[in-house]
Amino acid sequence: MTTTTTTTTPSRTTARMSALVREIRTVVDRGLAPDLTAYLVGERLAPHLAAADLLTPEQCVGSPDRYRQHVLHAEADGSFSVVALVWLPGQETAIHDHVSWCVAGVHEGEESELRYRLAPAAGDAGARLVATEQVVNGVGEVCGFAPPGDIHKVRNSCRTKAISIHVYGADVSRLGSSVRRVYTLPAD
């Protein structure tokens, strides 16, 4: 399993990131259902992806050991946070789900996502994971989801660094991660 290197960098931000945070806040403050919130936050995130002035150079630095999480903003009331995940070629997550709704957009490179569903097994075999969809997202593409039904594995599927911007409906700076559970069940 690959773990995350986390860096908290909220004190230094760009004007574009500050504008994005304000746009996200207007959506989150509406108190809508999680899936609708994720959809609307994704609409706000998409126009900012690939913009040269979204991240500072420090927020684009990866780690040779594992993908790196830079916490860019955590809302004071804990209602959302924004992170940049920096992936070197081949770096990936374990199969996992999340504590809250989530939106991810590719800022640089390409990411592959393998989505799963939890299926009961016959007899005493216990539950297993069934792959349901493989998605490859390139620069500017956004996806969002809300639990339940958010089990997936993500990896950098290109030969260069990949950077994705994630918005979570939780305070990742306090929790350390958006991951609720890592799955070690048999997977198809």
Does residue 187 register a pLDDT over 70?
Answer: no
pLDDT band at 13 (very low <50, low <70, confident <90, very high): confident
pTM of the model: 0.88
Judged by DSSP in three states, 8 sits in strand
Q: Which CATH number fits domain 5-182: 3.90.1150.10, 3.40.1080.10, 1.10.357.10, 2.60.120.10?
A: 2.60.120.10
Give tens-digit pLDDT for 28-41. Answer: 999 999 999 999 99
